[in-house]
Chain A
Amino acid sequence: MTEDLLTGKLVRLVAIDLEEDTRLLSEWDRDSEFQRLLISESAGRYNPKQIKEFFEKEIDSMHFYLIQRLEDDRKIGLIDLNGFDWVTRSAWVGIGIGEREFWGKGYGTDAMRILLRYAFTVLNLQRVNLNVFDFNQRGYLSYKKSGFKEEGRIPGALLKAGKRCDLIFMGVLRSEWEELQKQTKE
């Protein structure tokens, strides 16, 4: 029996339901802090139809999943791999927990753990990248826990809530991720 690679200790990753989940994604955007933590561009509002049209156009170029709690099957966030470069075997990851009550409880870290396992053992990637903003300390620490290393930052690249902030670049190599797996098992 093959292990379910997309299930972790707290959550599983499930494909998006374009009819049901677009409503959820639109609702999460009501929380502008969620958007400011997730995207570098300005926060905005989009209705479920607009979101559905976006995914109908773009979904083939990304691996997009909803994060679902094992405990009650509630969908609480999103995670995706995009920007694949098949020469360097790298991709970018984006992650957000839309339901505020589940922030800081390990769901994002568990989802990232699943996604990295998928990226390295199924997609055969060599490295995974992400951007995080300097005010997102919770995200930064979670990514470090998952194996990402900071590779530098562009000072003052972003403007959020009227203040300039740094755009941080993080990356994890497959060799580093494999080493981390060994350490975790020991």
Chain B
Amino acid sequence: MFTTQLFQSQSLLLEPYDPEKDAAVEAGFTRRWDYAWGTALGGEPHPISAFQVKKKREEQLKRIAESRDSFLFAIRLRDDQQFIGVLELPWVSWPNRMAWMKALIGDESLEAKHLAEVLKMGLRYAFEELDMAVVASSTGEFQPQVLKTCLDLGMQIQVRQRQMVFSQGKYWDRLILSMAQTEWKTRNSEE
């Protein structure tokens, strides 16, 4: 009946986040600016401790259980279950059927290899399971790989917030990309 799995792809699994095990690994990921900026777990991007990550993720999971307006998945490699990052829908607006999405992978080489796969899983989940009309995500030219991957998947740059990010000693524009469910269906109709 269903030809596509939501939580399994060729090389990845979307699993429940486990603060007991995943927080210590994720704390290591926050040494990378891109990851720390993306998670915003510690306010201003900076490395944070395993204790802080565990506390913040536990609070987040509690909030998710209560409000049901956001989602958090641990991304694991299918081969050995290694935790490599998170897929988040940090805000799902049910009245508008609009969701924000971010995928964060700790290691740069794993990001290059798996980002497209996990973003596609996120888009599929948002459009085909949650019935979102629009999904949006933000990045910038300071993350060329992420930007290219989003564009390759069919997301389009809609907003350029000038000088909205400060990294590597200078200001960058924050780009907001989005995709509509109709576009997703057109691009994925053969699957």
Chain B residues, Cβ within 8 Å of A164: 133
Chain A residues, Cβ within 8 Å of B171: 88
Encoded as 1 (CB less than 8 Å from any A CB) or 0, chain B from 92 to 127 comes to 010111100000000000000000000000000000
Interface size of A in residues (CB-CB distance below 8 Å): 23
Pick the residue among A42, A154, A171 that contacts B95 (CB under 8 A): A42
Pick the residue among B96, B134, B157, B158 that contacts A40 (CB under 8 A): B96
B51 within 8 A of A: no
Dominant SS among interface residues on chain B: strand
Q: How far is the CB of A143 from chain B (nearest CB, A)?
A: 15
Q: How far is the CA of A87 from the CA of B36 in the complex (A)?
A: 13
Q: Is the CB of A155 within 8 A of B164?
A: no
Q: How far is the CB of B131 from chain A (nearest CB, A)?
A: 12
Q: Is the CB of B176 within 8 A of A41?
A: no
Pick the residue among A88, A151, A155, A158 that contacts B96 (CB under 8 A): A158
Dominant SS among interface residues on chain A: strand
Q: How far is the CA of A132 from the CA of B171 in the complex (A)?
A: 24
Please provide the chain A residues from 71 to 127 with a CB less than 8 Å away from any CB of chain B in the complex.
Answer: 86-88, 90, 126-127
Q: How far is the CA of A127 from the CA of B163 in the complex (A)?
A: 8
**Known pairs A159-B95, A169-B159, A173-B163; A154 contacts B44 (CB<8 A):** no
Q: How far is the CA of A169 from the CA of B176 in the complex (A)?
A: 10
Please provide the chain B residues from 34 to 48 with a CB less than 8 Å away from any CB of chain A in the complex.
Answer: 44-45
Q: Is the CB of B160 within 8 A of A151?
A: yes
B165 within 8 A of A: yes
Q: Is the CB of B159 within 8 A of A157?
A: no
B30 within 8 A of A: no
Chain A residues, Cβ within 8 Å of B157: 152
Pick the residue among B93, B133, B160, B162 that contacts A41 (CB under 8 A): B93
Pick the residue among B159, B164, B166 that contacts A154 (CB under 8 A): B159
**Known pairs A154-B158, A156-B133; A127 contacts B96 (CB<8 A):** no
Q: How far is the CB of B93 from chain A (nearest CB, A)?
A: 6
Q: How far is the CA of A126 from the CA of B161 in the complex (A)?
A: 13
Q: Is the CB of A154 within 8 A of B161?
A: no
User: What 7 pairs between A and B have smallest CB-CB spacing?
Assistant: A152-B159, A42-B95, A169-B159, A154-B178, A158-B96, A159-B96, A88-B166
**13 A-B interface contacts by CB (under 8 A):** A40-B93, A41-B93, A41-B96, A88-B164, A90-B164, A126-B163, A129-B164, A154-B158, A157-B136, A159-B95, A169-B159, A171-B162, A171-B164
